[in-house]
Structure 1
Amino acid sequence: MSSASESPVILQRLRSETRPYHDALEQNHFNQALGAGQVSAEQTHWFLAKLYGFLKPYEAHLDQHEFTPAWDIAQRHRAHLILADLPPNSPLPLCPDMPPLATWPQLLGALYVLEGSTLGGQVITRQLAKAGIESRTYFSGNGDQTGPLWKRFCQLLTEEATDANQAEIVDSASLTFQKLHAWINQP
C-alpha cells in the first residue's frame, strides 16, 4: 500500500509512460501562441472547435457504459460548455478516428487524459483572461470543483486498477493522447 506522500503505481505509470504523448500534445499552435502571450480569439475558437470534435464522440462512448454514481459522469461531460464559447453556427466537425473505448481499462485510460485536461484548463483560463479573451467557459470547467473532481477520479482509478489491467489502462491513455494530438493538428 502506498504512503500518503507516494502516488499509487497506476498514477505513476500513467504520468511517466504517457509523458511523451502529453508533451507532444501541448506543442500545438494554440498552446504555443498562448504561452507566447500572442493568442487570438480566432485561434481560441479554432482550438475549442477541435476539442468539441473530440469530446462529443468521446462523451457519446461514455454514455454507452454504466458508471456508478461515484464517478459523477454527468458532471464530467464538458463538450456542451464549448458551445457557449463559440460564435453561433461555428463549424464543428467530429473526429472520425477515436481511440477504442470498448473495455473498462480503455475507458479508464481515456478518462485519465480528458479528466487531467481539466487541470490544464484552469491555467489556460488565467492566460486567456490576461489576453482579454472571453471564451473561457469550457476551460473554467468545474471551477473550484476541478481539483476535488480530479482527486476523486484518481482515487476511483486507483481502486479499479489491477495488475491485470494496468497495461491496458496505460496503453489507452497513450493512444488517447496520440489520437487527440493527431486530430488537433489535422488542418
Structure 2
Amino acid sequence: MGQLAGRPGSTFRPGSMLPTFLPITVYRPMLVGLDKPLILQRLRTETQPYHRALEQNEFNRALAAGNITEAIAARFLAKLYGFLRPYEARLRQHAFSPAWQPERRQRAHLIEQDLPAAAHLPECADMPELRTWPQLLGALYVLEGSTLGGQVITRQLAKAGIPTRTYFTGSAEHTGPLWKSFCQLLAAEATPDNEAEIVQSAIQTFQKLHAWIELR
C-alpha cells in the first residue's frame, strides 16, 4: 500500500489532552480517570456496541465462568493469529516515526511461541481497509486496546494450569505505558476532518475481528 496518507511522522505535542478511556477490549474493561480528548470520547461512545458484541466470544465467556480450558485458549489464539498476521503485514507497509514504536506494535510472533503450528493456521481474508492514515489509526485503536487485559488473563490461565500465556503476557508492565503513548499520539493526529474516518475504521475493525473470531 506504500506511504500512509496523512501525518505518520508527527509526534505528541505538549499540552495535548491525555486519554481517559482504555477501551472495552476483547478481554475485559479497563478505565482510568484522565482528561478526555474528543477523539477518545467519540471512539469510546460510538464503538461501544461493537466492543460489547466482541466480548461475547467463547474465550471471554469461559474466563468469566471460571471454566477456561487449554483447548478454548488455543482456539482463541489461533483466531487472533489469523487476524494479526495480515493486519501486521499491512502495518509494515506504512512509514512510522520512532515515536510510534512500530516494532512493539507487532505481536503475532508471540502466538507462535504458544502455538507451535501457528504458521500453518488460516488467515482472515476479510480485513478492514488500511489505505489511509485515519483508517490505520482506527484499527490501531482496536488492536492496541485489546492488549490491556493481558496481565489479568495471564494470571487466570496460570491458575488454571494453562501454559499458552506468552501472547497475553505481551509487554508485561510496559503494556499500560504503550497504550498511553498510543493514545497521546492518536489525540495529536485527530482533526475535525479525519475523526469520522478514524471512528468508522475502528468500528469496521471490531466488526471484521468479531466476524473472524466467530467463523467456524
TM-score (norm 1): 0.95
Partner of 2:84: 55
Partner of 1:123: 152
Partner of 1:97: 126
Secondary structure of the 2:114 match is coil
Q: 1:12 to 1:76 in 2, by over 3 A?
A: same
Q: 1:45 to 1:3 in 2, by over 3 A?
A: closer
How much has 1:121 moved relative to structure 2? 2.0
| Residue-by-residue CA offset, 1:65-90 (whole Å, 9 max, x unaligned) | 00101000111100000011114467
**Aligned partners of 1:10 and 1:161 also within 8 Å:** yes
Secondary structure of the 2:147 match is helix
Q: 1:40 to 1:87 in 2, by over 3 A?
A: farther
What is the aligned length? 187
**Aligned partners of 2:63 and 2:156 also within 8 Å:** yes
One-letter code aligned to 1:15: R
Q: 1:89 to 1:180 in 2, by over 3 A?
A: closer
Paired residue for 1:84, among 113, 117, 131? 113
| Residue-by-residue CA offset, 1:33-82 (whole Å, 9 max, x unaligned) | 11111111011111001000000000001011001010001111000000
Paired residue for 1:148, among 157, 169, 177? 177
**Aligned partners of 1:128 and 1:134 also within 8 Å:** yes
Secondary structure of the 2:146 match is helix
| Residue-by-residue CA offset, 1:85-107 (whole Å, 9 max, x unaligned) | 11446741000000000000000
**Aligned partners of 1:101 and 1:107 also within 8 Å:** yes
What's the Cα RMSD here? 1.6
In structure 1, stretches of 5+ residues that fail to align are: none
| Residue-by-residue CA offset, 1:140-187 (whole Å, 9 max, x unaligned) | 110110000000000000000000000000000010000000000000
With 123-132 and 168-177 compared, the bigger mean Cα shift is at 123-132
**Aligned partners of 1:49 and 1:91 also within 8 Å:** no
Aligned equivalents of 1:74, 1:60: Cα separation in 2: 12
Aligned equivalents of 1:29, 1:67: Cα separation in 2: 35
| Residue-by-residue CA offset, 1:126-152 (whole Å, 9 max, x unaligned) | 221221111110011101100000000
Aligned equivalents of 1:89, 1:158: Cα separation in 2: 35
In structure 2, stretches of 5+ residues that fail to align are: 1-15, 20-33
Aligned equivalents of 2:119, 2:64: Cα separation in 1: 25
Paired residue for 1:74, among 82, 97, 103? 103
Partner of 1:7: 36
Partner of 2:74: 45
With 173-182 and 89-98 compared, the bigger mean Cα shift is at 89-98
| Residue-by-residue CA offset, 1:105-137 (whole Å, 9 max, x unaligned) | 000000000000110222221221221111110
**Aligned partners of 2:112 and 2:118 also within 8 Å:** no
Q: Percent identity?
A: 67
